[in-house]
Amino acid sequence: MAEPPSSTPVNDAPDQAPAAEIAPEAQGNAARQLLGMKGAKSGETSIWKIRLQLMKPITWIPLIWGVVCGAASSGNYRWSLEHVLIAAACMLFAGPLLTGYTQTLNDFYDRDIDAINEPYRPIPSGAISIPQVVTQILVLLVAGIAIAFSLDRWAGHSFPIITALAIGGSFVSYIYSAPPLKLKQNGWLGNYALGASYIALPWWAGHALFGTLTWKIVVLTLFYSLAGLGIAVVNDFKSVEGDRQMGLKSLPVMFGVTTAAWICVLAIDIFQGGVAAYLMAIHQNLYAVLLVLLIIPQITFQDMYFLRDPLGNDVKYQASAQPFLVLGMLVTGLALGHTAL
């Protein structure tokens, strides 16, 4: 648990370290705070920076990447200015807007848990008021759905499938965080909903924007999302104590830290391996081999960091291993796009 910031004025302490010596640490903490990363401490006063922190920009990346993978799997994306701008608009709605909505909503309903695990977060620290948070949630939701509808118009869809995905994904986000369902109370269902939201939903949006969304793509990405379940479990290790006190049945709470860590890594590796086997079955052998080669370093980092100390190395493991996961997603998308040509 992060310690609360000291109330001692920096410039008044006679034995305070020179400003040049503490500046890098302060700058690093400010960056972590804006990105919404674990370990950032309170102290920000700009309301816009606080709003950005609630949206957790670090979490936008998988959704933006999912759109890229979907565009690749459609087989119809072209490197023209029009396609680049349309893809960017899809990334905006999937990442900053609807993921920002999801993260703000989650912080709103998790404010009691965050008061235990991360009291420096904007809401439990009192840096932003509840009415301001609710306004942010609604603005992000409406803006995201509006852009999704505009993308459907551009694509000429007779049925607004991207709008439907935006509304459906927003509803899943709501029942994930909000009572009475609060899917995150169930370690299995909640983490799979999170994994599917980070892999399948943006993939479907990118694919539907430039091509025709088929059941093959839907089923394969839902299968891939079981690997995303493992990634979602990693986030549960930072809040074991608060989850236990609040009665949330996360996998580390239900099975213990060590067993949950093994469940996490096996889900990530086994289901990616299943996707590689599928690529071989459809004769995309080169892409299958590339995917396997990307799984190997993930296993290495799992052994080096995560399995040895899940609580202490969760962030380090994600930073080192997740780039290989997302590259594997793109390899899969390119393979599927090649079959669609």
> C-alpha 18: how far from its chain's center?
38
Give the model's confidence band at 203: pLDDT under 50 very low, under 70 low, under 90 confident, else very high.
Answer: very high
What pLDDT is attached to residue 15?
Answer: 42
pLDDT at 1 over 70: no
Give the model's confidence band at 19: pLDDT under 50 very low, under 70 low, under 90 confident, else very high.
Answer: very low
pLDDT at 11 over 50: no
What pLDDT is attached to residue 212?
Answer: 95
pLDDT at 156 over 50: yes
Interval 14-37 mean pLDDT: 51
Of 7-16, 84-93, 141-150, 295-304, the least confident:
7-16
Interval 254-266 mean pLDDT: 94
88, 91, 92, 199, 260 from 61: Cα distances, Å: 13, 9, 11, 11, 25
Of 41-55, 70-84, 179-193, 262-276, the least confident:
41-55
Domain ranges for the chain, please list them: 45-212, 214-238+251-341
pLDDT at 32 over 80: no
Give the model's confidence band at 235: pLDDT under 50 very low, under 70 low, under 90 confident, else very high.
Answer: confident
pLDDT at 273 over 90: yes
pLDDT at 21 over 50: no
Is residue 140 within 8 Å of 104, Cβ to Cβ?
Answer: yes
What is the 3-state secondary structure of the chain? Answer: CCCCCCCCCHHHCCCCCCHHHHHHHHHHHHHHHHHCCCCCCCCCCCHHHHHHHHHCHHHHHHHHHHHHHHHHHHCCCCCCHHHHHHHHHHHHHHHHHHHHHHHHHHHHHCHHHHHHHCCCCCCCCCCCCHHHHHHHHHHHHHHHHHHHHHHHHHHCCCCCHHHHHHHHHHHHHHHHHCCCCCHHHEHHHHHHHHHHHHHHHHHHHHHHHHCCCCHHHHHHHHHHHHHHHHHHHHHHHHHHHHHHHHCCECHHHHHCHHHHHHHHHHHHHHHHHHHHHHHHHCCCHHHHHHHHHHHHHHHHHHHHHHCCCHHHHHHHHHHHHHHHHHHHHHHHHHHHHHHHC
- Structurally, what CATH architecture does the domain formed by 45-212 represent? Orthogonal Bundle (1.10)
> Distance between CA 205 and CA 189 in Å, rounded?
22
Phi, psi of 309 (to 5 degrees): -155, 80
What pLDDT is attached to residue 134?
Answer: 98
Angle between helix 130-155 and helix 81-92 axes, rounded to 10 deg: 150
Of 6-15, 45-54, 111-120, 215-224, the least confident:
6-15
> Distance between CA 203 and CA 211 in Å, rounded?
12
Interval 5-33 mean pLDDT: 46
pLDDT in tens, 110-153: 998 888 878 888 999 999 999 999 999 999 999 999 999 999 99
Interval 199-224 mean pLDDT: 96
Percent of the residues in the chain that have a pLDDT greater than 90, as a whole number: 66
12 class by beta-carbon count within 10 Å (0-12 exposed, 13-18 middle, 19+ buried): exposed
pLDDT: is 289 or 321 the higher one?
A: 289
All residues at 6 or more sequence positions from 76 whose CB lies less than 8 Å from its CB, including other chains = 210, 211, 340
pLDDT in tens, 70-96: 999 999 999 999 999 999 999 999 999
Interval 285-310 mean pLDDT: 96
Residue 17 CB coordination number (10 Å): 11
